[in-house]
Every structure is written in structure tokens, then in C-alpha cells.
Structure 1
Amino acid sequence: MVENFSNDYDVKCQLDTCKTYPAITDSERGEIVCGGCGLILLQNMADASYENNGYSQEDFMKLSRTGPASSLTMYDKGLSTVIGTNKDSSGNALSNKTKYEFNRLRTWDQRSKSRKTAALSKAFTLLHGMKTKLGVPDNVVESAAYIYRKVVSAKLTRGRTMTSLISASLYAACRENNIPRTLDDIANAGNVERRILSRDLRTIIKKLGLNLNQYDTSSFISKISNNMDLKEKTKRDAFEILKRCEKEQITAGKHPVAQAAASLYISCIMNGEKISQKKFSAESGVSDVTIRNRVDLIKKTLKLIE
């Protein structure tokens, strides 16, 4: 009788005559066999041997047992058809007739790809380029690819450019994962007008029913201060100012980037760092008038500096 075990590999034959015989493991078949009577004690074992993937793409495809992980950022989710070189499994060259047949197969495999597949390939190539420019993590790119696939399925691409839609999907993914990237950052990375990006973003949110959380203002404090090489104490004081502003409930409805820039500006004054509002405006992408208004409100409410 064959018994299936999932985790417990410490099995022994129950016959009295086989107690002195060891169990034999057959890793190729995934079985453990009694050394006395030959009874299969365990089958369908997981292969625990070393995974040798090689160092090149060709070696990986030859040696890997599982293949690369599937990903939404690939147009075919990583499940593509690969027609190899003109050699058989032994490394011998194929005949001319077989070569011709395989070349025809490659041609028809390429032709069989739909226009939707080609469009996804271009869109995700652009997405990877924006990922490099903005420095966003892989999970955000996966979320952006998922949102863009939903956009394509909902047929929202008519009358809209692929660049603006993939940029809007990336911004929505950044909002979902609380990665501080503004509309201006996304627009510059994707070479899209901010007006068009905002319009397509509103369409995606409305049609797909996305519920995007507001950005955490503290994340913009870290981003701006790191880009401007401010002191650590200045950053900590800015966090404290923001915390007091939230306690006084003067951050509701305010632009998070402007609030972060204003908190940092006041913190710079308190710590003796002379940086103009113009520089904060250029770094944050918010007008100096907006920053000045936020600064005046914070000074009046918290009575920090004269």
C-alpha cells in the first residue's frame, strides 16, 4: 500500500522482517522505498536538490526547473512561448527542412500576437522607464500594471494616449502605496502635460472606482529635506511642527506638499539655515505664494516665530 505524505519524511516499513533494513530515497522518482521488501513508503516528494540557474539567460532557460516568476509588468505575464535555436536536445544541428519549419513557427508565433499584446508590451516598456526615472519600488510598478490592465479591459483607451494612461496608473499606484510622487514628477517622467494627466487620472478613478488615500505629509518632508541636504535636526523639528499642525487641525484640505515645504521652511529659520522660499518652491513644485500662505497660517496658529 502506498501512502502519501506532505511533510513527514521520517517513514519506516511496518513489517517485522524489514525493521533492520534502511529506507532508500529515490530523488529522481520522488519516492522512498523500503530496502527489505521494496514497498513504496512515500511518493510525490518535493525535489529539494540545489537549483542551478546558471549565469546567463540561455543557461537559466536550460537549467531552471520552474522558470522565472510571473509578473503583471510583462505583456504575457512571463508565460511567453520560446522557440529555441536550430539545435536539438543533444546539441546537434537540425536538418534544413526542420530549420525551415521552425523558422516558419517563429514567424507565425510573432504574427499570432494580437494588437492588444503589442500595445501592452509598449506600455510596460514605458512603465519600466518611468520606474527608473522616479525610483519607485517593484510593488508599485506591479500595482500600476494591474491598474493599467483594468483600464484596457474597461476600454478606456479610446481617445486617450497610452503615455497619459500609464502615467495616471503609476500615480494611482503611488497613492495606494503611499510613495511620495507628485503629479508634476509623474508628468515630467512620462513627458505628459499635467492637465492631460489630471484629466485621465480623474477618469480612471471614476470608472474603476478607485479609493485613493491622501498622501502622508510626513513622507514629503523626508523627500524634500533629503533632496535639499538639510540638517537632521531641521527635519526632526519639521516633523514636530507638522504634528502640532495636525493637532490644531489646520492641515485638513491643505496641499500636503505645500504643508511639508512650509514646515521645513519654518524649521530652517529656527535652526539658522538660510534657504529662501523660492528654493523650496522649485524643489517641491508648489508656488512660493502658496508656501508663504501656509507659513503665515502656521506662524499665526502655533506662534512659533515672529
Structure 2
Amino acid sequence: MCMIEADKNGEEEKKVYRATTKCPECDSPLIRQDYERGEIVCDSCGLVIEENLMDQGAEWRAFDYEQMVKRARTGAPMTYMIHDKGLSTFIDWRDANVQGKSASNIQRLRKWQNRVRVSSSSERSLIFAISEIDRMGSALGLSKDVREAAALMYRKAMEKDLIRGRSVEGLATAILYAVCRQKGIPRTLEEVGSVSRVKQKEIGRTYRFLSRELDFRLQPSSPSEFVSRFCSRLNLKEDVRAKAIEIVNQAEQQELTVGKGPISIAAAAIYIAARLCGDTRTQKEVAAATGVTEVTIRNRYKDIVEALGIELPQLQPSSTTASNLTSSSSPLSSEKELSG
């Protein structure tokens, strides 16, 4: 789908396409852009969401970097990850002129060029915000399009003057978390906060403020979105992951997830699935991997087991526990033998 923006006179409309959208007919995320027909199509129901799109890519093909450099007739495309969208020019770091001779004034010109490119405090603030989005996105393993979308959203917040009275870092972090929610990328608030320089409470408060002002329409996260990543952290096999997703789906059908945190449901489902598949992980291990307390996991897994009628196998005592029990029972037996 697309988001419509009107210009200042309200006469011309501009369509900005987001990288990941959902079908307005069947709510499917399987959206595909057909470059030959110039259409955006839903692969699930076949709805043509948009048509007559212009292909902004190159009309030539290149099979290696050298061919690409030779055939390219323009510079890099516009990007929201640069404060001026990459439209300004740079002075090369090689201190030489066209003839290759040394030019002593190149360094001075480069310094003034960099100063001229940033002419206001708002641009300096934007540069800092974009650098924070890029740093946190890289630390979280987010793709380039996610960081681009976050930079675009930050610009919209600037246009609506939502930055006044709020820290740039807090706003950038909250926007990055919102974009992850929009695109269905499973990143918790704790994970985003761990790479930020602001407190988690401020991130949550800023996120709620932005959701009101920018009118976010976000669906609640599904616990199944977190299962694969948490299973990978716990080194669990594919059968455990599949079983955990099955338990989550059954819990959602029984409405057991209503009013519960999706991460706690995912953690409880993984704990149950690991026990059912014979690849048991302790509640402490699951809690460390998911960031949920052991008490919460214990409460959630008991609710799920009781509601779905799941019979869990008995836990086998570990070797350490067995040795402790043996050593602790030996004095008692010796005392009995002495008393006998």
C-alpha cells in the first residue's frame, strides 16, 4: 500500500511506498512488486494494490563492479540516512587537482565544504539522530530498509515539531522500536533499550507519545514471532521450535494470550515444548534467554498446560542433584546403622 502526503498548497499528492505492507483485502504480508507490469500485487488473494508504477532502477545490466562503474551515469540514489538525502557533493580526500598535481588548498576547501553542508542546529540534531539510528540498527542486526524507514519517521516527527522538550536519543530509540513493530520484526523493548543510551522507561513513554501524535496503527505482537530467535539462543532443535509454535497457536485459539505479554507466552511455550521433546531446559535457562522472570514463566506454563490438557513428563533429577541427595542421605543411613 502507500501513504499519501499532500504538498503545502494541497494541489499535488505524492505517494511514498513503504517496504513492508499488508494487503488491505486479506491482511496478508505477502506483497510483491511486479516490475514488468508496474504493479504492486498481493500474492495471497491476487489484489492489485497499485498500478502504473515507474521503475526507478537502471535500464542496463552489470555483471561485476567494474561494469557497474563504467555504465552508471548518475550518482548514488537518495537516502534518508544522510541529512541532506545525499544530494550534496563531497570534495575528494586526495589532495590533488585534475592533473594529479598536489593542491594545498584542497584541505581548506574540504573543511569549509563540510561546514556549509550543515548550516543550522536542526540539521546538526538530525545528523546526530540518524547516526544513533544507524548505530542501534547495526547493533540489533536490522536491515538497511528498516533504518531508512526509521530515519524517514524521525523527519516526520521533526516536521510536526514533536522533538521540542525531548531528547534526541530517546526519540530515535522509540522510533526505531516503532518501525520494528510496524515491519513485524521481533525486537523487544528491552533489546532495543540495551543498545540505547536512555532508560527503558523514557523509551516507553516516548513511544506512547509518538503513537498518539503520529497515529500508529500497530497490531499486537504474536508470541510466535519470538519463538525462533529464543530457540536459537537456547540451542534447541527444529522439532522443539515447531512444537512451541503449535502450542502458541493453540493458546491463541483458546484466547489464553489475551492480556498477557507475548514474550512470556513464547517463553512458556518453549519451556513446555522442550520438555515434551526430551530436550529439557530449566526455567532459569529460559528466563535468561528471554528476559522473563522464572515466576512469570512458571505461572504462564501452568496456565497453558492446564487449559490445553498437556501432560508433561516428569523431570529427571540432574547428576549434580542426585549426587547431593546421595551425599546428604549417607550420614543418615550411617546414623541408623549405628543406632541399630
Specify the code of the residue in structure 2 equivalent to 1:110: R
Contact in 1 for aligned 2:228/2:241 (Cα 8 Å)? yes
1:76 and 2:75 are equivalent in the alignment? no
Distance, in Å, in 2 between the alignment partners of 1:157 and 1:69 is 28
Specify the code of the residue in structure 1 equivalent to 2:74: T
Distance, in Å, in 2 between the alignment partners of 1:243 and 1:52 is 46
Aligned mate of 2:171, from 165, 168, 171? 165
Structure 1 range deviating more: 123-132 or 110-119: 110-119
SS at match of 1:170: helix
Show the 5 A alignment for 1:1-306. 48=60, 64-84=72-92, 87-92=96-101, 99=105, 103=108, 107=112, 110-111=115-116, 113=118, 114-305=120-311
Contact in 2 for aligned 1:220/1:260 (Cα 8 Å)? yes
Q: Which residue of 1 aligns with 2:319?
A: none
Q: 1:229/1:105 Cα in 2 relative to 1: closer, same or farther (>3 Å)?
A: closer
Distance, in Å, in 1 between the alignment partners of 2:239 and 2:219 is 29
- Residues matched between the structures, number: 253
Bigger relative CO (Cα 8 Å, ≥ 6 apart): 1
Specify the code of the residue in structure 1 equivalent to 2:83: Y
Question: How far 1:105 sits from its partner (Å)?
Answer: 7.7
Contact in 1 for aligned 2:240/2:270 (Cα 8 Å)? yes
Q: What do residues 209-252 of structure 1 show as CA deviations (whole Å, max 9, x unaligned)?
A: 11122213212001100111112111111111111112212122
Q: 1:122/1:254 Cα in 2 relative to 1: closer, same or farther (>3 Å)?
A: same
Distance, in Å, in 2 between the alignment partners of 1:78 and 1:231 is 45
Contact in 2 for aligned 1:73/1:141 (Cα 8 Å)? yes
Distance, in Å, in 2 between the alignment partners of 1:86 and 1:51 is 32
Distance, in Å, in 2 between the alignment partners of 1:50 and 1:295 is 55
Contact in 2 for aligned 1:75/1:120 (Cα 8 Å)? yes
Distance, in Å, in 1 between the alignment partners of 2:258 and 2:223 is 11
Distance, in Å, in 2 between the alignment partners of 1:146 and 1:243 is 35
Q: CA RMSD in A?
A: 2.8
Q: Which residue of 2 aligns with 1:15?
A: none
Q: What do residues 185-232 of structure 1 show as CA deviations (whole Å, max 9, x unaligned)?
A: 000011321101101111111111111222132120011001111121
TM-score, normalization by structure 2: 0.67
Contact in 2 for aligned 1:220/1:257 (Cα 8 Å)? yes
Structure showing greater radius of gyration is: 1
Distance, in Å, in 2 between the alignment partners of 1:304 and 1:47 is 59
Question: How far 1:145 sits from its partner (Å)?
Answer: 1.0
Q: 1:272/1:115 Cα in 2 relative to 1: closer, same or farther (>3 Å)?
A: same
Structure 2 unaligned blocks of 5 or more: 1-57, 313-340
Structure 1 range deviating more: 74-83 or 221-230: 74-83
Specify the code of the residue in structure 2 equivalent to 1:107: W
SS at match of 1:213: coil
Distance, in Å, in 2 between the alignment partners of 1:47 and 1:147 is 31
Question: How far 1:93 sits from its partner (Å)?
Answer: 5.4
SS at match of 1:214: coil
Distance, in Å, in 2 between the alignment partners of 1:265 and 1:52 is 48
Distance, in Å, in 1 between the alignment partners of 2:82 and 2:285 is 40
Q: 1:271/1:162 Cα in 2 relative to 1: closer, same or farther (>3 Å)?
A: same
Distance, in Å, in 2 between the alignment partners of 1:67 and 1:108 is 19
TM-score, normalization by structure 1: 0.74
Q: 1:276/1:86 Cα in 2 relative to 1: closer, same or farther (>3 Å)?
A: closer
